[in-house]
Amino acid sequence: MAVEVQPGAITEVTMNFPPVNALPAAGWLELADALTRAGADPAARVVVLAAEGRGFCAGVDIKEMQRSPGHEALLAANRGCAAAFAAVYECPVPVIAAVQGFCLGGGIGLVGNADLIVAADNAEFGLPEVDRGALGAATHLARLVPPQLMRTMVYTCRPVSAHDLQRFGSVLSVVPAAELRAAAREVAAEIAGKDPVVIRRAKESLNGIDPVDVKRSYRFEQGFTFELNLNGAGDRARQKFVEGR
> What is the domain partition of the chain in residue ranges?
2-178+196-242
Question: Is residue 206 classed as helix, strand or coil in its secondary structure?
Answer: helix
What is the predicted pLDDT for the residue at 198? 98
Contact 41, 11 (CB under 8 A): yes
Compute the distance between CA of residue 73 and CA of residue 51 in angstroms, rounded to an integer. 24
Give CA separation, 59 vs 27, 131, 152, in Å: 11, 13, 19
Kindly report the CATH number that applies to the domain delimited by 2-178+196-242: 3.90.226.10
What is the predicted pLDDT for the residue at 124? 98
What is the predicted pLDDT for the residue at 244? 79
Residue 188 phi/psi, 5-degree rounding, is: -60, -40
Q: Is 188 exposed, middle or buried (0-12, 13-18, 19+ CB in 10 A)?
A: buried
What is the predicted pLDDT for the residue at 245? 59
pLDDT in tens, the chain (245 residues): 699 999 999 999 999 999 999 999 999 999 999 999 999 999 999 999 999 999 999 999 888 888 877 788 888 999 999 999 999 999 999 999 999 999 999 999 999 999 999 999 999 999 999 999 999 999 999 999 999 999 999 999 999 999 999 999 999 999 999 999 999 999 999 999 999 999 999 999 999 999 999 999 999 999 998 899 889 888 898 888 888 75
What is the predicted pLDDT for the residue at 190? 98
Write out the H or E segment, with its range, that includes residue 166: helix 162-168
What is the predicted pLDDT for the residue at 92? 98
What is the predicted pLDDT for the residue at 125? 98
Compute the distance between CA of residue 95 and CA of residue 125 in angstroms, rounded to an integer. 18
Compute the distance between CA of residue 38 and CA of residue 228 in angstroms, rounded to an integer. 35
The amino acid occupying position 162 is A
Please state the pTM of the whole predicted model.
0.96
What is the predicted pLDDT for the residue at 67? 84
